[in-house]
Each structure stands twice: as structure tokens, then as C-alpha cells.
């Protein structure tokens, strides 16, 4: 995801380049295909990168715990600042923003780190392999997307509720015992 922008840095403010990207990028230890179109615009300070990139990363479903490929759309908008003057080669002061992306001394603009950061932000907090994922059975742990399990429906069979009362009573006694031993 590297582009040499030395020519564009010599152009006047507002000059535009469009790039079609299609590249494998290493994100968090795995290689993912990143594709899309971005537009580079010359600004008074550097180059503004804007566009939407598409990729997929492997994540764990928060309900059924299976691995699946989660498609992500990255709406990139970042200004890149050159660290050296393209004409004189003199070092340039960086803006005072706490974090900023830079164009290196060879006038190469590298999108990889920005893509990595956008991916981490785009991954949902609770990913779902599909909207209607039925998840795992809370009793036996079976993946209910594959087929129903043989567990009785919860809260309907009185024998199970009696048993669970017994279990919690035993738990209580065990805990009390621990308290007394202290």
C-alpha cells in the first residue's frame, strides 16, 4: 500500500490523483485482501487521502464462537505530511497533531498503518456470523446453528428446576463451610 507522491507534492494545491487499490495487507498477524478506490488531494500541508476500502478479517462470532470472515468497509480520511521538502530536500517540521501520518524522505506515502488502525476500529464489538445466529445451547454447549440439541427446553420441566434448587442449596452449604473454615 505504498505510493510515490513526489510528483503530486510538486503540483499546486487541489491537484488530484485517483488510485485503484487491490493488495494483500498484513493486519494483526493475518493477511487480508484490501480493495477499493482512493483519491489523493494535494493540500497546503501535504496529501489528503480519502476513499472507501473493503476487506475481510477473520473474527470469532460472539454467540456461537465459530470463526468467520467479517466484511469491513473502511472510510479512510487522513492527511499525510511530508517530512522532507520535495524540492530542496530540507527537513520539514511536523504539525502539532499528537498522531499524524507522514510521507517519508523518499516521498513514499504508505497506507498500511492507517488501514490497520481503521480495521481495528471497524471490527464490531460483538461480531455475529449471521444476523440470526442461534448461538450455543447454555446447557450442553452444542452449536444450535448446526442442529437442535437434546436438552429439555429451559424452565418448563419441573424436575430440572427441583434439581437446580438442590444444586444451589449444596453450593450454599459448601460456601458456608468455607466461610467457617476461615
Binding residues (CB under 5 A) for Zn ion: these are 61, 63-64, 129, 133, 137, 139-140, 142, 149, 151
Contact 3, 108 (CB under 8 A): yes
Which grid cell sits at 2? 505504498
Nearest CB to Zn ion, comparing residues 87 and 125: 125
Residue 160: CB minimum distance to Zn ion, A: 12
Nearest CB to Zn ion, comparing residues 102 and 143: 143
Contact 133, 64 (CB under 8 A): yes
Residue 132: CB minimum distance to Zn ion, A: 9
Nearest CB to Zn ion, comparing residues 57 and 114: 57
Q: Any residues with CB less than 8 A from the CB of 83 and at least 6 apart, and which?
A: 91, 92, 94, 102, 103, 104, 105
Nearest Cα to Cα of residue 79 among 53, 41, 106: 41
H or E stretch including 118? Answer: helix 112-122
Nearest CB to Zn ion, comparing residues 16 and 140: 140
Residue 164: CB minimum distance to Zn ion, A: 15
Residue 155: CB minimum distance to Zn ion, A: 14
H or E stretch including 60? Answer: strand 47-60
Residue 179: CB minimum distance to Zn ion, A: 34
Measured distance CA(4)–CA(70) in Å, rounded: 31
Nearest CB to Zn ion, comparing residues 7 and 154: 154
Amino acid at each position: 500500500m505504498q505510493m510515490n507522491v513526489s510528483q503530486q507534492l510538486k503540483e499546486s494545491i487541489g491537484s488530484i490523483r485517483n488510485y485503484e487499490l487491490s493488495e494483500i495487507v498484513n493486519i494483526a498477524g493475518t493477511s487480508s485482501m484490501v480493495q477499493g478506490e482512493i483519491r489523493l488531494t494535494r493540500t497546503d500541508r501535504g496529501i489528503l487521502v480519502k476513499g472507501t476500502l473493503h476487506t475481510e478479517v477473520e473474527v470469532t462470532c460472539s454467540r456461537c464462537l465459530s470463526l468467520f470472515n467479517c466484511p469491513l468497509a473502511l472510510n479512510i480520511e487522513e492527511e499525510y505530511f511530508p517530512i522532507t521538502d520535495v524540492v530542496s530536500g530540507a527537513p520539514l517540521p511536523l504539525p502539532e497533531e499528537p498522531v499524524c501520518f507522514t510521507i517519508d524522505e523518499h516521498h513514499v506515502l504508505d497506507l498500511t498503518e492507517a488501514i490497520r488502525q481503521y480495521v481495528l476500529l471497524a471490527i464490531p464489538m460483538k461480531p455475529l456470523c449471521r444476523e440470526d445466529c442461534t448461538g450455543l445451547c447454555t446447557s450442553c454447549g452444542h452449536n444450535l446453528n448446526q442442529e437442535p440439541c437434546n436438552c429439555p427446553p429451559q424452565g418448563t420441566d419441573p424436575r430440572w428446576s427441583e434439581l437446580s434448587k438442590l444444586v444451589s442449596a449444596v453450593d450454599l452449604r459448601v460456601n458456608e463451610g468455607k466461610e467457617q473454615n476461615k
